Amino acid sequence: MYILKASQIRLAEQHADASGYSFISLMENAGTACAGCIAADWRPGSKITSVCGQGKNGGDGLVIARVLKGMGYD
């Protein structure tokens, strides 16, 4: 596992954008993967709170909340 600095993440996003990947698709992928990690530890029906700020991380959080809701989380 690699832990990237914010500057490295920005560069990776820029490269993905230049390669034709939209920021929306990146958010969908990140949010769906995070929701999968949460689902591995919590049962459907569990109450989950997603606090989202502005920007792309907030978008990731909204995807996480939407995906978990679709999986039966409250």
Chain segment 39-65, per-residue pLDDT in tens: 999 999 999 999 998 887 899 999 999
pLDDT for 55:
82
pLDDT for 49:
94
- The position carrying tokens 């949010």 is 31
pLDDT band (50, 70, 90) for residue 2: confident
The structure's pTM equals: 0.82
pLDDT for 30:
92
* Dihedral angle over CA of 41, 37, 70, 47, nearest 10: 40
Instruction: Pick the closest to residue 61 from 52, 70, 71 (CA basis).
Output: 52
